[in-house]
């Protein structure tokens, strides 16, 4: 009965359609727990007392890269679509606005170019631990959340014949991405962590939109690594807290715009699928 009533979205990657969504989500949870356990054990090693040193960050990179590779093995592809979507002018325009706003934040608010220059101004060797930590975070978190968990959520929503599969999968994976940052409560103040959870979830929406629009994971991975490329990344602590009002002023428009973009992606997908 289900096979007769459920619409088969032919443009979604066969790898995602044929996957077991619940299994992917459980595997994602297991991968995160393994990472959390082993990273905590690595911090307890005598050689890892200095979190800014090369060796502890090298070990963390090996752990993160190994688990990220396992996530990729489970999803088998970074592609969401077998065929490209034909995006409407409205979707392209809204996405361009979102991309422009995010680029301004990337350059000015998060000061990514300044952070990169600051890190490398001290020399290549002092920059290596930061490079390893930022790369480890970007690769592991994106392969886990936007890769494994997003694919699992998308498969479940596809199975339920959802009218908004991309909006739903993006929102749920963004919430998961934010919630995972609560682990920083072990080393950081509550306010700083809750704010990090909030804006990480907003980033999750934007990264999901990037993955859908460009049909790959590597652009979100690259941007994530660049944002994390800052001196404080090796500390494992949440950034210092800011005013909630200023955060809401900056991020609420991004939330509204991201949700609108994702809803339009769903509409364009349905139309492209019906015409294919």
Two tokens, residue 2:
């289900």
Place of tokens 């979102």: 98
Instruction: Output the pLDDT for position 276.
Output: 61
Instruction: Output the pLDDT for position 19.
Output: 83
Instruction: Output the pLDDT for position 54.
Output: 83
Strand ranges (E), 6-121: none
Compute the C-alpha angle 134/137/140, nearest 5°.
Answer: 140
Q: Report helix, strand or coil for 257.
A: helix
Are 144 and 32 a contacting pair, CB within 8 Å? yes
Place of tokens 């392969």: 143
CA distances for 108 relative to 99, 114, 213, 246, 258, angstroms: 14, 9, 24, 15, 20
d(CA 55, CA 51): 9
pTM exceeding the 0.95 threshold for the entire prediction: no
Instruction: Output the pLDDT for position 22.
Output: 94
Instruction: Output the pLDDT for position 6.
Output: 45
pLDDT tens track, the chain, 276 positions: 344 344 555 578 878 878 899 999 999 999 999 999 998 787 766 655 565 678 888 999 999 999 999 999 999 888 999 888 899 999 999 999 999 999 999 999 889 999 999 999 989 898 999 999 999 999 999 999 999 999 999 999 988 989 999 999 999 999 999 999 999 888 888 998 999 999 999 999 999 999 999 999 999 999 999 999 998 887 776 676 678 998 999 899 999 999 999 999 999 998 876 666
Instruction: Output the pLDDT for position 51.
Output: 56
Number of helical H runs and strand E runs in the chain: 12, 0
SS (H, E, C) 110-151: CCHHHHHHHHHHCCHHHHHHHHHHHHHHHHHHHHHHHHHHHH
CA distances for 96 relative to 128, 146, 212, angstroms: 34, 21, 14
Instruction: Output the pLDDT for position 55.
Output: 85
Instruction: Output the pLDDT for position 56.
Output: 86
Q: What one-character DSSP code corresponds to residue 238? A: P
d(CA 130, CA 125): 10
Q: Is 127 left (phi over 0), alpha (psi -120 to 50) or beta?
A: alpha
Question: What is the sign, positive or negative, of the torsion defined by CA atoms of 28, 190, 170, 217?
Answer: negative
Instruction: Output the pLDDT for position 242.
Output: 78
């Amino acid at each position: 009965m289900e096979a007769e009533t459920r619409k088969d979205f032919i443009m979604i990657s066969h790898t995602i359609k044929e996957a077991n969504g619940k299994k992917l989500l459980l595997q994602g949870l297991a991968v995160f727990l393994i990472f959390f356990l082993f990273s905590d054990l690595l911090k307890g090693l005598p050689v890892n007392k200095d979190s800014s040193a090369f060796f502890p960050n090298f070990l963390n990179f090996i752990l993160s890269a190994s688990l990220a590779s396992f996530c990729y093995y489970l999803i088998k592809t970074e592609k969401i679509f077998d065929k490209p979507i034909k995006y409407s002018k409205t979707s392209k325009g809204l996405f361009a606005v979102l991309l422009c706003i995010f680029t301004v934040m990337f350059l000015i608010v998060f000061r990514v170019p300044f952070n990169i220059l600051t890190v490398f101004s001290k020399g290549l060797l002092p920059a290596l631990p930061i490079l390893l930590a930022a790369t480890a975070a970007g690769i592991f978190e994106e392969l886990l959340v936007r890769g494994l968990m997003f694919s699992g959520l998308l498969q479940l929503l596809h199975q339920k014949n959802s009218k908004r599969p991309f909006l739903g999968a993006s929102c749920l994976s963004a919430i998961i991405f934010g919630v995972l940052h609560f682990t920083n409560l072990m080393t950081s103040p509550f306010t700083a962590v809750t704010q990090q959870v909030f804006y990480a979830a907003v980033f999750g929406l934007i990264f999901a939109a990037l993955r859908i629009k460009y049909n790959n994971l590597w652009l979100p991975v690259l941007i994530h690594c660049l944002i994390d490329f800052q001196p404080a990344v090796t500390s494992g602590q949440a950034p210092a807290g800011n005013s909630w009002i200023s955060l809401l002023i900056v991020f609420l428009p991004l939330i509204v715009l991201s949700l609108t973009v994702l809803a339009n992606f769903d509409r364009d997908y349905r139309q492209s699928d019906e015409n294919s």
